[in-house]
Structure 1
Amino acid sequence: MSVLTLDDALAAPAQHRVLTGDRPTGALHLGHYLGTLRSRVLLQDAGVRTFLVIADHQVVTDRDTTAGIADNVHEVLLDYLAVGLDGPRTTIFTHSAVAAIGQLMLPFLSLVTDAELRRNPTVKAELAATAGRPMSALLLTYPVHQAADILFAHATLVPVGRDQLPHLELTRTVARRFTRRYGALFDEPAALLSDAPTVLGTDGTKMSKTRGNVVALRDDEDTTAAVIRSAVTDGERHITYEPERRPEVANLLLIAALLLDRAPEVVADEIGAGGAGRLKAVVTEAVNEHLRPVRARRRAFAADPAHVAGVLADGNAVAAGVADATLEQVRAAMGMAYGV
């Protein structure tokens, strides 16, 4: 599999097209910001054509209800706009508004086997997270749905972590088998490998909306301070950056370092014998200072819901147009363009 870095993409922006996105299961948090949102803004600002899906259909892969989904879509959209992503330069859309993606799934499903889907690492991980819930057909076919997301846009790059490489490989398999069966239409997308570190939540596990251990981008400064004060550390007074031995302390140092654009070892040396109290104060100040303009923009966008709705409507229209054109290409390749 071809693997590129963010620097590779930024060095040749006109050569690439990116597809990425998030499930609307709640407002976005500091882990999203440090892990993906900042790099998306860099790609956009460099001129890389980017499609950003708010994956509302994926919410029902493992849930019985769509209650609250409209609010969650709105909150995610506000977070996108607040960090600097914008409609004219980044196509922001929802699954449910682009019917052709679902139509593309049908021929793509014919190109993979049941066994390939069942052994897909992402399907296994998502199933394990449902705590014994029976697998829905939508969850089983989730990798093909993602392939349709990627290929409808003719994306050449897909941001992933190393653990997601097997998932992207199935999209490449779909593209390759389509070419063999019907002719060349889709490139096999490369992985845009993220080197962003995993940001832990306040309980020492991975920061996650479902665990409730997050610093949300929409939080005010007092809430942020309270959340960080509750973060797990250890009993040692002197602060050192030792990720293996002191993961919780190292995580707080890493957050501060990323936001201050400094090495975590330097931040640790400056705190020294100040202990956990001083560490948390430094992190709180770094987070609140860095996110202050982001939060100000978020409040401004929240006060103009018509503009926010317009950004999504415009993105939906652009994505639907691209998907419709791709679907027509697929029909023609398969000999199903009747009456045209």
Structure 2
Amino acid sequence: MTTTTCADADADAVQDDTLEGRIRRDPARFRVLTGDRPTGALHLGHYFGTLHNRVRLQDLGVEVFVLIADYQVLTDRDVAERLTATMEGLLLDYLAVGVDPERSVIFNHSAVPALNQLMLPFLSLVSVAELGRNPTVKDEITHSRQASVSGLMFTYPVHQAADILFCKGNLVPVGQDQLPHLEVTRTVARRFNERYGPVFPEPDALLSAVPQLLGTDGTKMSKSRANSIALGAGTDETARLIKGATTDADRHITYDPEGRPGVSGLVLLAALCLDRDPHDVAEEIGGGGAAALKRTVTDAVNTRLAPMRARRAEYARDMGYVRSVLRAGNERANAIADATLTQVREAMGGLGRGPAS
């Protein structure tokens, strides 16, 4: 017979009061805004960092909005190259990993004018100095491909605030490095409400529990660094990429992210694909060396991605349906954005409505 002590009951109550506990207890009260810039193929870092969590939240009953941030491509690029093909690739990846257009809204920036119009009143709520102090913007400017910084790059956090608040998003999955951006959104919402009346929620951050996934060169997996394994990659390409991954001279495999980043990144990738602890995976490989490690990773990745690849190929045979998903999502996003913009104008005393007819 199992008995429950007062201490156990107290512990359960504390657990239930966490953000995760509240999501599980009442998922319908949460609306998530998340998304990606269409600057290249989505990869395993995206899958374990955010895509898997989007599907999990959707399946719990949370309302999920997935943004294809096509306008934000221009924050660090002079032109948006191959935009249509990249956007369609994102759509295929979203559907393949399990984003369900019946339960989640997939849309793109340029198709929702009212969302982007929110930037104007939002920009009036933050100072130039505040934007300049944003550490994430500073880092993005440092790593920008452009010779000079555009105004869009500088105001990027405010554009993200419009992304989140147009649909009254109150939960945003982010990594630790994105917290300063979310704080701008919270500031915008709070100041708007104080100045014009309660319209927007102050969204909470849902931090990813997955450690940063490294690429095949031992640095952060990134579309721009040519070190990633795309979700749409075939089995042979995956094997080739993993075979060329950086390791070290120590034959005995251990999981030591600080001391052995290349080896540990591969161990972590295998562990995530196998739903196992990375220390156990490393111990099992032991003295098998880099060759055994890479075989383990290749098998784990290809097995994990196999059903997603099959679904992706099936959707790719009906691109008319895939495009209809985006059209339907854009219609839904436009209806919400128009209603929000109307509410904003009314709160601001009719500003932006034009003369009465």
Question: Normalising by structure 1, what TM-score?
Answer: 0.96
Report which structure shows greater RCO (CA 8 Å, sep ≥6).
1
Alignment of 1:235-254 (within 5 A): 235-254=249-268
How many Å separate the matches in 1 of 2:337 and 2:287?
58
Residue 339 of structure 1, CA deviation = 3.4
Check conservation: 1:4, 1:193, Cα contact below 8 A: no
- Structure 1: unaligned runs, 5 residues or longer: none
The residue type equivalent to 2:73 in the other structure is V
Alignment of 1:309-324 (within 5 A): 309-324=323-338
CA offset digits 1:244-267 (Å, max 9, x no partner)? 211111111111111111111111
Ranges of 4+ aligned residues in structure 1 off by more than 3 Å: 3-8, 337-340
Q: Please tell me whether Structure 1 or Structure 2 has the larger radius of gyration of its CA atoms.
A: 2
**Aligned counterpart in structure 1 of residue 186 of structure 2, from 172, 182, 188:** 172
Identify the residue that residue 114 of structure 2 maps to in structure 1.
Answer: 100
Paired positions, count = 338
Check conservation: 1:22, 1:53, Cα contact below 8 A: yes
The residue type equivalent to 1:276 in the other structure is A
Residue 9 of structure 1, CA deviation = 2.6
Check conservation: 1:6, 1:39, Cα contact below 8 A: no
Check conservation: 2:271, 2:278, Cα contact below 8 A: yes
Superposed CA RMSD: 1.5
How many Å separate the matches in 1 of 2:329 and 2:20?
24
- Segment of structure 1 superposing worse, 284-293 or 192-201: 192-201
Are 2:29 and 1:12 aligned?
Answer: no
CA offset digits 1:216-275 (Å, max 9, x no partner)? 000000000000000000101111112221111111111111111111111111111110
How many Å separate the matches in 2 of 1:118 and 1:81?
38
How many Å separate the matches in 2 of 1:101 and 1:183?
19
Check conservation: 1:97, 1:316, Cα contact below 8 A: yes
- Segment of structure 1 superposing worse, 268-277 or 159-168: 159-168
**Aligned counterpart in structure 1 of residue 128 of structure 2, from 108, 114, 117:** 114
Residue 4 of structure 1, CA deviation = 6.3
Q: What SS does structure 1 have at the residue aligned with 2:118?
A: helix
Identify the residue that residue 35 of structure 2 maps to in structure 1.
Answer: 21
Identify the residue that residue 303 of structure 2 maps to in structure 1.
Answer: 289
User: Structure 1 vs Structure 2: percent identity of aligned residues?
Assistant: 59
Residue 314 of structure 1, CA deviation = 0.4
The residue type equivalent to 1:303 in the other structure is R
- Structure 2: unaligned runs, 5 residues or longer: 1-16
Q: What SS does structure 2 have at the residue aligned with 1:237?
A: coil
Residue 160 of structure 1, CA deviation = 1.1
The residue type equivalent to 1:71 in the other structure is A
How many Å separate the matches in 1 of 2:35 and 2:146?
27
**Aligned counterpart in structure 2 of residue 58 of structure 1, from 72, 75, 80:** 72
